[in-house]
């Protein structure tokens, strides 16, 4: 059995959200691809060392 990566798990979560909002009949290859794009963005953001307690800079 193949092990799911964190990327796969993020993409699955995105697909669940897409399906809940659009219905399964609208899920296609483009939506699946977008789920992995979202997963990649989540991983990129996760890799940043950010102090979430700090005030955001606006400059």
The per-residue pLDDT for range 37-54, each reduced to its tens digit, is 999 999 999 998 766 666
26 confidence band (pLDDT: 50, 70, 90)? low
Instruction: Compute CA distances 26 → 7, 8, 9, whole Å.
Output: 22, 20, 21
Full-model pTM: 0.68
| Beta carbons of 42 and 22 less than 8 angstroms apart | no
Residue 35, phi-psi category: left (phi > 0), alpha (psi -120 to 50), beta (remainder): alpha
CA atoms within 13 Å, Cβ hemisphere of 9:
5
């Amino acid at each position: 059995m193949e092990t799911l990566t964190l990327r796969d798990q993020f993409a699955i979560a995105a697909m669940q959200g897409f399906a809940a909002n659009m219905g399964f009949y609208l899920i296609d290859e483009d939506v699946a691809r977008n789920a992995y794009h979202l997963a990649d963005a989540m991983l990129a953001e996760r890799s940043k060392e950010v102090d979430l307690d700090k005030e955001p800079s606006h400059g």
